[in-house]
Amino acid sequence: MSEMTPGQFAKPLQRLPRKPLPSLASLAIPLLACLSALLLGLALPSLVGADGWLDWIKCVLAALSAGITAYAVNRLAVDKGALHAAIGNPGAGVVSASSILMVGFGMFAGTYGGFALDGSERLRLEAFGRDQAVFAEQISKSAGQGARVGAALRSVASDLAGRAECEARSSCLSGRGTGGEGPVFRVLEGEAARAAGIARQWEEGAAEAGRVGTRLREVSARYRAVNADEGLSVQKRRTQAQALGSEITRVASSLNTALPVSLVAAYAADLQAPIMIPGQSAISNQVNDLRGRHGTALEVVIASLDETDVEAPTFPARSGVSDTLVHVGHFLPLALIIFVIELVFPITLWLYTFFGLRAQLVQNELAPVQPSKQPDQNHEKSRASSHRNRGGRR
């Protein structure tokens, strides 16, 4: 079989026409829609708390629907909206740009919110833990100041007991006789016994406050350990943290009531109230002065205590998308990446398409009008036809 040569063809060989390369928009828009749907599908389980197969089906359908919507809106905005806006339809530009931004913001909020939700939940639990620590510290500090009140009560009891003993031995307060257990002694002895009893109650409360304070520190340490445990899921961490937070509040409340502050305050007020020893008004005034000085001293000590009526912090509700936006600074790199994917790139693609169409329109308007070559072509056709006719007659 002989080899064919180029001369054997009726017409010269021509290369097949090359297919034009697809435009950037035709490639980027579907690819971006697929990636956005995939990212949203990965983020949705955290938002809806997917626990069963039905929840996962919901997440998949929602992600696919969002991806199709994003593709359709961006494709129409770039292919149709930019063209109509370029040729002078401002409404098309407004609708195109606003639709891209609305769809993009929805995709951004869902994707970023799902990715940052677990981290935001941990940050809020850490903030609650810090508030609980401050609350527990204030309660513990108030309880720790009880030593001053205990010392003041012991001082009152010791002074009254010493004066009662002196009165029994030499009537040093009443000045009548050479001692004995008269009315003045009985008043002083009763006041000393009462002060000693209140001092014992206070010391018992202080001991209980010390035990409760130790328990409070232990529970607070457990709360911090739970919040720092990377192996716990969000739901388990939240459940355990809430239980420990409630226990911290309960323990702190018991610490707040361990010390009988109101009892000592009532005793201080009672010491400043005058009493009357029958038939001994002058000595009654001396005893009242003594009791009043002790009552005033106790009031000063009690007033120096810090306020113990501190409100416990409220355990935070489950985190939502708005909470992740509050902590956007903590997740700034992630937020910027998703923002560029979902918002910046689509609107940038639309703008460049719009500007390109506008530039092409201006170039077409400024281009010089080329003279028509139709008459010359008709003349050539006429000459060719005449030549064929003459050749036929010959």
Average pLDDT value for residue range 257-261: 80
**Selected residue with higher pLDDT from 13 and 361:** 361
pLDDT value at residue 394: 46
Average pLDDT value for residue range 211-230: 85
194 and 298 Cβ atoms separated by less than 8 Å? no
| Poorest-pLDDT segment among 10-14, 50-54, 289-293 | 10-14
Question: What percent of the chain has pLDDT above 70?
Answer: 84
pLDDT above 90 (res 374): no
| Poorest-pLDDT segment among 136-140, 220-224, 265-269 | 136-140
- Is the dihedral angle over the CA atoms 19, 365, 83, 38 positive or is it negative? positive
Output b/e per residue, 195-210; b: 16+ Cβ within 10 A. bbebbeebbebbebbb
Sequence-distant (6+) residues with CB within 8 A of 348 are none
Task: Pick the most confident of 52-61, 73-82, 116-125, 372-381.
Answer: 73-82
Query: Token digits for 283?
Result: 């000595």
Q: Cα–Cα distances in Å, from 300 out to 147, 197, 217, 304, 305?
A: 14, 20, 30, 6, 9
Query: Token digits for 27?
Result: 């490639």
- Is the dihedral angle over the CA atoms 10, 11, 14, 19 positive or is it negative? negative
- The model's confidence at residue 39, banded by pLDDT at 50, 70 and 90, is very high
pLDDT value at residue 372: 53
pLDDT value at residue 320: 82
- The model's confidence at residue 354, banded by pLDDT at 50, 70 and 90, is very high
- The model's confidence at residue 63, banded by pLDDT at 50, 70 and 90, is very high
Domain definitions of the chain by residue range = 24-117+330-364, 146-305
Q: 3-state SS string over the chain?
A: CCCCCHHHCCCCCCCCCCCCCCCHHHHHHHHHHHHHHHHHHHHHHHHHCCCCHHHHHHHHHHHHHHHHHHHHHHHHHHHHHHHHHHCCCHHHHHHHHHHHHHHHHHHHHHHHHHHHHHHHHHHHHHHHHHHHHHHHHHHHHHHHCHHHHHHHHHHHHHHHHHHHHHHHHHCCCCCCCCCCCCHHHHHHHHHHHHHHHHHHHHHHHHHHHHHHHHHHHHHHHHHHHHHHCCCCCHHHHHHHHHHHHHHHHHHHHHHHCCCCHHHHHHHHHHHCCCCCCCCCHHHHHHHHHHHHHHHHHHHHHHHCCCCCCCCCCCCCCCCCHHHHHHCCCCCHHHHHHHHHHHHHHHHHHHHHHHHHHHHHHHHHHHCCCCCCCHHHHHHHHHHHHHHHHHHHHC
pTM exceeds 0.85:
no
Give the number of other CB atoms < 10 A from CB of residue 394.
4
The Cα–Cα gap between 340 and 333 comes to 11
pLDDT of 153-204, one tens digit each?
A: 899 888 888 888 887 877 776 666 666 677 778 888 888 898 899 999 988 8
